[in-house]
Amino acid sequence: MAFDIDMIKKVYANFGSRVDAARKIVGRPLTLSEKILYAHLWDGDPKKAFSRGTDYVDFAPDRVAMQDATAQMALLQFMQAGRPKVAVPSTVHCDHLITAKEGAAIDLPHAKTESKEVFDFLSSVSNKYGIGFWNPGAGIIHQVVLENYAFPGGMMIGTDSHTVNAGGLGMVAIGVGGADACDVMAGLPWELKFPKLIGVKLTGKLNGWTAAKDVILKVAGILTVKGGTGAIVEYFGDGATSMSCTGKGTICNMGAEIGATTSTFGYDESMERYLRATDRNEVADEANKIKAYLTGDSEVYANPENYFDQVIEINLDELEPYLNGPFTPDLATPVSQMKVEAEKNGWPLKVEWGLIGSCTNSSYEDLSRAASIANQAIAKGLTTKADFGINPGSEQVRYTANRDGFLKTFEDLNATIFTNACGPCIGMWDRVGAEKAEKNTIVHSFNRNFAKRADGNPNTFAFVASPEMVAAIAISGNLAFNPLTDTLTNDKGEQVKLDPPTGDELPKKGFAVEDAGFQAPAEDGSKVEVLVSPTSHRLQLLDPFTPWEGTDLKGLKLLIKAKGKCTTDHISMAGPWLKFRGHLDNISNNMLIGAVNYFNDKTDTVRNELTGEYGPVPATQRAYKAAGLGSIVIGDENYGEGSSREHAAMEPRHLGVRAVLVKSFARIHETNLKKQGMLGLTFANKEDYDKILEGDTVDILGLTEFAPNKPLTLVLHHLDGTTEQFDVNHSYNDQQIEWFKAGGALNIIRAEAAA
Ligand code: F3S
């Protein structure tokens, strides 16, 4: 599982000279984000200054990380790329396909049996192509990456939107679709629009009940789920350096919830401590040699408004704990105002479950602080009113937390210790009674709380908080409980108050683990066979998509005009569908089933224009495909927000949707559409969304002269025989237009490998 010190040395060898060159070319001091970006240009030394938010730039990431749900499609694509081995260090982590129900001792063996075919596939592909493989139960991808692979100043991509977690260790780490991962593993450059920069200055120090989580919960409230789009969020200031490395990871992790490209922190002593505690003295020693380059220039942090596109300042001394939700992670309510807000909005006050874990908050420090609350509860004669579930972040964290007594403390409060895996965070939670769809409240330390996300119940009101706050609220069983001011009644009828949490940033006795769950790849994988049964329901080898026919697209059926929020969960639901992530045809049966039809406010009920009957979205689209007709999907703002799963782009592509036209896109999803050879378009005039009527057929004109920055034309043919025409925009550059023409980026890569 060894981190690749030679690769890190190579990155650091050029880092200083490249940053110096960039500073000269740009003509001013640099932020950390810019330093990392300019040090990772595909073409080597910086030769020109890039325009933020405008220029597409080719980068050379140092690593790739993949989780089991997205790795299947990423690796199925890589197998088509015609390469013998991955070109950069890469890892696969089995964490998504493990249902939480009875606890790790029962759930993990069950998952290993249930998803054996997929785990075996991932293990053998990894073995063959030189990829490190982390077994089911080894931990959640981002915790394992932070513990083993992340390094200051590095650039990583990962097939999961919370790859950004590694910013806690000073990386620029970005969530991408499997197609992007496939490119980088195939030794190709990775393209990104040079991001804008948001600076967050942290002053003061976390204290009392306030945790790192509250910083990002507050930032989410300020910036909203779209506020970080196209930007890197860079944290700095005394408040930043006073925080633990894993706390920084928590903040960066939830940068995904504000749509940020990624978030990062400058290298500091907390990172050095973490590197040394996780057995990476060599990395810390190397980082120390170029320390000054691994943080923003001092002038930048002294006068941030001159260097960032936007600056936010937060005083940690004054920060209150927050509860964000329900149904969206940016609805931020300070704990002191929750009673008023919950009563005003009709949020159920009784809390049914408190869940601690996920890649956001499952570090040793997180568990230690939550355990300190649980300990107090026991000592003060309290029991928990809500059910309690814990998902440790990795086997190393679990083993160490167990050794240090935290897990026993949780169990003494009747907690269920789930597997070191995503579990309820990704909807892999077999929650008793969820099918009754009763209105109820849960609190968790995860990052996302979209409707149905954790348990599939649309009436579960999920609130996001720090692990210690989750512990306190679960114990009280009351969403409005404010541990800073309120008391609880103990078993003797006395009023008792919980003291603020205490904990250890790192284990005093050091981390320990017996079997971390890592499998190194074969030295020579050429003889390793990868088996995919043609009758499998879980895995399906890919067939190349067909190239563009060379003409304008005419007579497209309107499949759905989606109304309001349409995240990747709405487009390609997780939970029960995770098991089909390696089988494109089967998973396509979930396409857009969560999207709300503008014309009837229902999900998964659209009019089939061939029959006039209403039916499910996937079946309707299959009918169009069978009739040889293309179709178009219309969407609202920030379409495709959420995860990096390219299934949300591949499913419509596979089923014959030709274009997706929206008011605005979430970045990763837009790129995913382009990679798969789809047309991703935006309304030039957002009000034109209102012109789309049920029953319309649609022409897209201008494709024979498809060029960057040149709008296309959309023609609507309404049922009453009238037509309307308007411009639609796109953000395709020359290369992306080639992807469209070839029928997808992979068709080009394969052709190049064969040439
Ligand atoms: Fe897993 Fe939830 Fe993180 S699904 S990777 S724990 S966001």
| Ligand 1 center–CA 108 separation, angstroms | 17
Q: Which residues of the chain have pLDDT under 50?
A: none
Would the CB of 140 count as within 6 Å of ligand 1?
yes
| Cβ-based burial of 23 (10 A; exposed 0-12, middle 13-18, buried ≥19) | middle
On whether the CB atoms of residues 178 and 77 are closer than 8 A, the answer is: yes
Q: Where are the domains of the chain?
A: 5-317, 320-337+344-496, 553-754
**CATH 3.30.499.10, applies to 320-337+344-496:** yes
Would the CB of 162 count as within 6 Å of ligand 1?
yes
In this prediction, residue 171 carries a pLDDT of 98
| Ligand 1 center–CA 648 separation, angstroms | 17
Residue 116 phi, psi (nearest 5): -55, -45
The CATH architecture to which 5-317 belongs is 2-Layer Sandwich (3.30)
Looking at the domain 553-754, which fold is it? Answer: Aconitase; domain 4 (3.20.19)
Q: How many Å apart are CA 277 and CA 147, to the nearest integer?
A: 9
- pTM of the complete model: 0.89
In this prediction, residue 700 carries a pLDDT of 98
Contacts of 431 (CB under 8 A, 6+ apart): 353, 424, 454, 455, 457
Contacts of 61 (CB under 8 A, 6+ apart): 40, 88, 155, 156, 157, 184, 190
643 given a catalytic annotation? yes
Residue of 18, 33, 90, 95 with catalytic role? 95
Would the CB of 358 count as within 6 Å of ligand 1?
yes
40 given a catalytic annotation? no
Which residue is associated with the tokens 């930007």? 231
320-337+344-496 shares the fold of 5-317: yes
| Ligand 1 center–CA 425 separation, angstroms | 6
On whether the CB atoms of residues 67 and 203 are closer than 8 A, the answer is: no
Would the CB of 422 count as within 6 Å of ligand 1?
yes
Count CA within 13 A, CB hemisphere, residue 552.
12
Q: How many Å apart are CA 160 and CA 715, to the nearest integer?
A: 36
Report the run of H or E that residue 68 belongs to, with start and end: helix 68-80
For residue 426, give the ligand 1 atom closest to its CA. Answer: 4
| Cβ-based burial of 614 (10 A; exposed 0-12, middle 13-18, buried ≥19) | middle
On whether the CB atoms of residues 194 and 225 are closer than 8 A, the answer is: no
| Ligand 1 center–CA 182 separation, angstroms | 21
453 given a catalytic annotation? no
The residue count for the chain: 755
ipTM value: 0.98
Residue of 570, 645, 647, 669 with catalytic role? 645
Would the CB of 98 count as within 6 Å of ligand 1?
no
Which residue is associated with the tokens 């190397």? 286
Would the CB of 447 count as within 6 Å of ligand 1?
yes
Q: Helix/strand/coil (H, E, C) string of 132-185?
A: EEECCCCECHHHHHHHHCCCCCCEEEECCHHHHHHHHHCCEEEECCHHHHHHHH
Q: Look at residue 444 and give its three-state secondary structure.
A: strand
On whether the CB atoms of residues 385 and 476 are closer than 8 A, the answer is: yes
Is the peptide bond between 326 and the residue preceding it cis, with omega within 30 degrees of 0? yes
Encoded tokens for 333: 């309510």
| Ligand 1 center–CA 427 separation, angstroms | 10
Encoded tokens for 688: 């034109």
Which residue is associated with the tokens 């020109």? 48
Q: How many Å apart are CA 669 and CA 644, to the nearest integer?
A: 7
Q: Which of 70, 64, 93, 67 is nearest to 183 (CA)?
A: 64
Q: Could you give the C-alpha distances from 753 to 208, 521, 524, 568, 736, in angstroms and in order? A: 58, 23, 20, 32, 19
Would the CB of 584 count as within 6 Å of ligand 1?
no
Q: Which of 665, 705, 560 is nearest to 229 (CA)?
A: 665
In testing the pocket of ligand 1, which one of 361, 419, 425 has its CB within 8 Å of the most ligand atoms?
Answer: 425
96 given a catalytic annotation? yes
